[in-house]
């Protein structure tokens, strides 16, 4: 029976190596850091009768509803803590009467703060700068507190998208949005209709739109392509793509295989132009919303031929969500590439702090210089709006970082000063370097 004793000793040693809570001194420092949020969808301030549908090019709310996971359900105690921290909620329950009081308090603060309200929320979360993934910015989302990251998937799909839209109910809705956005980009660049050749399309629509985005404040560009197709953007030549474009620009829906080759070419063209303009390319990886999402198509390993393209080494790629849900270990290795980063967004509201700490520890053991903090906060409604979601995701991220670093201290891999240094890097320092920002801790 001696082996039973050995097993218990080993299990005890393993449990000692797993931090149940972060080191108090370390956590105190982590909570003080003014973070830079690499990925979010904040709503603009709206007046009476107004709405904001530009917080995402492909919003999830209109899709067929799917059940929320445990972390995002209203009964998550973190939301009660959010009410208390944000609004001075003095109760430990969710009674109808108390929630009505909460909603009245929220409305009062919003009216009192006016256009300053989004910045007020950032102050509550101790976020200095938030990168806003939006179709366009708006009231209250002013630089330098909010910086713009526009969506450029629409530029990949200039042809007839009816066949692609018919693949799933989700894509029917999404391609409707992309068609509308491409029309908007054409108007912004002065193209009354799609040019007849690929060379003219890239010269008169794609490049001018990217330059316009840069000139009007964009700090990066964003692709949600995994909602529309697989991320395997393979090499394609300009003559091949030009022939496909010319054959289909005036006709019906092109053959899917041919259209995919055109998208492959356009993605790399846009990535190269983004590099020329100094705009990092953000790419959604991992889990997505909707009951028809193709998880396999969001694997960041599918991007390897892009990340290994020597012609794109002047372009920086950020793997948003870090392969959330299935591919976080793959992301750790991809960070080896000199122009690849990853952020925590989406994992911060899908996973508990202990589960996220496991991911963070893995990434920190590889390349702590490549990790970016992100909340992925987005509009909700009523008592569970973007402020509460932001509080929950922010707290989860900071606690997870504290737990991961505490485990590394316990294992003797780093000391407390190094842990504080890494925390500063993840929460703001890495973003400062990547986006060439002024650093004012």
What is the per-residue pLDDT across 380-421, written as a single tens digit (0 to 9) for each? 999 999 999 999 999 999 999 999 999 999 999 999 999 999
Q: Calculate the dihedral angle through the C-alpha atoms of 205, 207, 213, 216, rounding to the nearest 10 degrees.
A: -100
Is the pLDDT reported for residue 13 higher than 60?
no
Q: What percent of the chain has pLDDT over 70?
A: 95
Report the pLDDT value the prediction gives residue 5, as an integer from 0 to 100.
44
Please give the residue range of the domain that contains residue 159: 19-434
Is the pLDDT reported for residue 144 higher than 50?
yes
Whether residue 379 lies inside any domain: the answer is yes
Q: What is the CATH number of the domain that holds 364?
A: 3.20.20.140
pLDDT band at 439 (very low <50, low <70, confident <90, very high): confident
Report the pLDDT value the prediction gives residue 12, as an integer from 0 to 100.
46
Whether residue 218 lies inside any domain: the answer is yes
pLDDT band at 308 (very low <50, low <70, confident <90, very high): very high
Whether residue 13 lies inside any domain: the answer is no
Whether residue 53 lies inside any domain: the answer is yes
Whether residue 439 lies inside any domain: the answer is no
pLDDT band at 6 (very low <50, low <70, confident <90, very high): very low
Which of 67-76, 165-174, 378-387 is the least confident region? 67-76
Residues 6+ apart with CB under 8 A from 63: 169, 170, 173, 289, 290, 291
What is the per-residue pLDDT across 16-72, written as a single tens digit (0 to 9) for each? 456 789 999 999 999 999 999 999 999 999 998 899 999 999 999 899 988 888 888
How many domains does the chain fold into? 1
Sheet containing 35-40, strands listed edge to edge, beginning at the edge strand earlier in sequence: 35-40, 127-133, 146-149
- Kindly give the pairing relationship between strand 317-324 and strand 127-133: unpaired
Cβ atoms of 57 and 177 within 8 Å: the answer is: yes
Whether residue 10 lies inside any domain: the answer is no
CA pair distance 162, 235, nearest whole angstrom: 25
Whether residue 408 lies inside any domain: the answer is yes
Q: Tell me the average pLDDT of the chain.
A: 94
Q: Give me 343's structure tokens.
A: 């952020």
Report the pLDDT value the prediction gives residue 272, as an integer from 0 to 100.
98
Cα radius of gyration (the chain): 23
What does DSSP assign to residue 115? G
Report the pLDDT value the prediction gives residue 18, as an integer from 0 to 100.
67
Q: How many CA atoms lie within 13 A of 159 on its CB side?
A: 27
Q: Tell me the torsion sign for CA atoms 130, 134, 139, 143.
A: positive
Whether residue 355 lies inside any domain: the answer is yes
Alpha helix stretches (DSSP H) within 69-161: 77-87, 96-113, 117-125
Q: Give me 27's structure tokens.
A: 């956590």
CA pair distance 280, 266, nearest whole angstrom: 16
């Amino acid at each position: 029976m001696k082996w039973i004793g050995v097993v218990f000793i080993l299990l005890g040693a393993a449990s000692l190596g797993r931090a149940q809570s972060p080191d108090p001194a370390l956590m105190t420092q982590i909570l003080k850091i003014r973070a830079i949020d690499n990925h979010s969808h904040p709503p603009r301030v709206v007046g009476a009768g107004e709405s904001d549908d530009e917080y995402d090019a492909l919003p999830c709310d209109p899709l067929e509803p799917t059940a929320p996971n445990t972390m995002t359900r209203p009964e998550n105690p973190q939301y009660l803590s959010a009410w208390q921290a944000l609004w001075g909620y003095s109760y430990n329950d969710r009674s109808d009467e108390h929630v009505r009081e909460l909603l009245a308090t929220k409305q009062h603060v919003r009216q009192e703060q006016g256009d300053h309200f989004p910045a007020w929320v950032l102050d509550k979360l101790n976020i200095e700068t938030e990168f806003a993934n939006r179709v366009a910015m708006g009231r209250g989302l002013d630089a330098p507190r909010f910086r713009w990251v526009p969506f450029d998937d629409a530029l990949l799909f200039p042809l007839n998208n009816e066949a692609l839209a018919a693949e799933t109910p989700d894509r029917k809705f999404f391609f409707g949005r992309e068609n509308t956005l491409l029309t908007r980009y054409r108007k912004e660049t002065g193209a009354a209709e799609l040019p007849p050749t690929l060379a003219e399309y890239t010269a008169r629509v794609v490049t001018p739109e990217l330059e316009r985005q840069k000139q009007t404040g964009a700090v990066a560009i964003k692709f949600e392509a995994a909602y529309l197709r697989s991320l395997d953007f393979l090499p394609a030549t300009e003559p091949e793509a030009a022939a496909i474009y010319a054959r289909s620009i005036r006709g019906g829906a092109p053959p899917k295989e041919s259209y995919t080759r055109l998208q492959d070419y356009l993605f790399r063209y846009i990535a190269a132009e983004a590099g020329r303009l100094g705009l990092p390319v953000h790419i959604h990886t991992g889990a997505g919303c909707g009951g028809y999402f193709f998880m396999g198509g969001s694997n960041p390993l599918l991007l390897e031929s892009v990340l290994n393209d020597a012609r794109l080494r002047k372009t920086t790629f950020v793997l948003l969500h870090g392969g959330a849900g299935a591919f976080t270990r793959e992301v750790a290795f991809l960070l080896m590439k000199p122009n690849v980063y990853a952020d925590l967004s989406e994992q911060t509201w899908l996973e508990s702090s202990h589960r996220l700490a496991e991911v963070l520890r893995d990434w920190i053991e590889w390349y702590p210089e490549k990790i970016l903090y992100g909340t992925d906060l987005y509009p909700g409604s009523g008592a569970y709006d973007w402020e509460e979601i932001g509080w929950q995701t922010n707290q989860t991220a900071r606690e997870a970082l504290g737990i991961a670093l505490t485990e590394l201290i316990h294992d003797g891999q780093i000391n407390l000063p190094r842990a504080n240094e890494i925390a500063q890097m993840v929460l703001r320092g890495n973003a400062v370097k990547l986006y060439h920002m002024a650093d004012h801790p």
